[in-house]
Structure 1
Amino acid sequence: MRRSAAPQGLHPGVPPVRSPAIFVTPTKLGSEVGSQMEYRAATRVLSKRRLFQVSDSVPVHLKKERIDMLLYRTTLGLRVGGVVSCLVALYVAAQPSNK
């Protein structure tokens, strides 16, 4: 009985066929991007890094003051409201039905 060199189902020597790209759009290289935009982004990142790395005993989620405090208190209020709502629903469900 003669054995083939390739395992069953594989065909040796057939090169893969590349399909043509459908959506070809020109892209900009990193060197083509405006240096002014890169500078602004780097400055913004550095200023945020300085803001968040200051050790002033303020939690990170409250570093940006008003907006963060508003979001934090809204979330806390919704959580407390949800717990109260669940407790009321449990209390109502625990009452015997009047038939």
Structure 2
Amino acid sequence: MPTIGFAKIEGGPGEALKFVLKKLREEGYEVTFYRHHWAGDMPFGLVIAETNKGKVAVRWYLGREFTFKLEEVSEEAFEDFIDETLDYIGGD
């Protein structure tokens, strides 16, 4: 099953990507490929990864703390999660 996640990080897009990839490794995910999407004027972004455990998409937000949560979802919910986030980032 695909997995979605939510992360709150302190820093910027570079720190967010490092944090998400580190947390995925700690959870036993071996990332084989990833894409990172964000817009400079928005305090959030999306990391989409292909891993040894399947597809993962993590939406990150800027904040004053570090949190990380993952949950398995249906293929349809996974695609909706990505589409909604990318639409918002793109301003659609």
TM-score by length of 1: 0.20
Q: Relative to total residues, which structure has the larger helix share, 1 or 2?
A: 1
Greater C-alpha Rg: 1
Q: Relative to total residues, which structure has the larger strand share, 1 or 2?
A: 2
